Amino acid sequence: MKCFLPALVFLSVFISLGAQQGLPSTEVKPVKGDAPSEILCHIPMPPPPPVRTMAEWEEVQAIVIAWRFPYSNVLKEVVRYSQEECKVFIITKERELVDTFLHIENIPSDNVEFLDIDFNSIWIRDYGPWTVYHNDVDSLMIVDWIYDDPLRPADDRTPPQLADYLGLPVFEAIEPPYDWVHAGGNNLQDGMGSLFSSELVLETNPGKTWEEIEAIAQAFLGIT
């Protein structure tokens, strides 16, 4: 499958605002059922090698933000400048409020899409999907694992829903022997095969050795 997004970056932020009437509205894109069934694939095994995970500083075509109240002053600036460079996906249950707020702040919404996806928290940097490439920069795929906060099940379900909307396969490290409990905030990549994580990953994966965790990271993220 050829990629249509060179990369996705996942940001964590939230906001609140009161509603106003009579302003233009941007369509909410429903997540379930939009993509053809043949590409709604959730695969509980590693992606086909060779795999490369993008570095966080690489060029992107889209970012994803989890939007909640009341940090509008931060979020509006993220959207204001990001939409000039790339597509901005906003995950929110408050689409009309957010859309109205962007309009009031003179922020164009032509490059903004709202996604109606359930989520528990703003920390999409931790629970959002990770993009990997087959053959360096060829086909784009999504990798997901078990979010390390069991009290936020909706957060953990966000990556495959986003993958479905984008029409991308999602390779899931959720079943033995690949089950991996992790958080994106503890997963830093350089785009050239190196991954940096604290020893928290050992605490969230009791019973697994460091070598076993490295093997999973190598299979799913192309770590060398």
- Mean model confidence pLDDT for the chain: 84
Domain residue extents for the chain: 1-224
pLDDT over 80 (residue 10): no
pTM of the complete model = 0.80
What is the structure's pLDDT at 70? Answer: 76
CA–CA distances in Å: residue 138 to residues 45, 100, 134, 135: 20, 38, 6, 5
Question: How much of the chain exceeds pLDDT 70, in percent?
Answer: 82
For the domain bounded by 1-224, which CATH number is listed? 3.75.10.10
Mean pLDDT over residues 132-161, rounded? 94
DSSP-assigned beta bridge partners for residue 53: 132
Tally the C-alpha atoms within 13 A of residue 118's C-alpha that lie toward its C-beta.
Answer: 6
pLDDT over 60 (residue 27): no
What is the structure's pLDDT at 71? Answer: 78
Identify which has the larger pLDDT, 25 or 161.
161
pLDDT over 80 (residue 153): yes
What is the structure's pLDDT at 178? Answer: 98
pLDDT over 90 (residue 209): yes
Identify which has the larger pLDDT, 188 or 39.
188
Mean pLDDT over residues 159-175, rounded? 95
Task: Note the helical H segments in 45-138.
Answer: 72-82, 95-104, 124-127
- The least confident of 37-46, 117-126, 213-222 is 37-46
What is the structure's pLDDT at 40? Answer: 59
CA–CA distances in Å: residue 217 to residues 8, 194, 209: 19, 10, 13
pLDDT over 90 (residue 137): no
pLDDT over 80 (residue 53): yes
Contacts of 220 (CB under 8 A, 6+ apart): 46, 47, 51, 132, 143, 145, 171, 173, 178, 180
95-104 vs 72-82: helix axis angle to the nearest 10?
Answer: 70
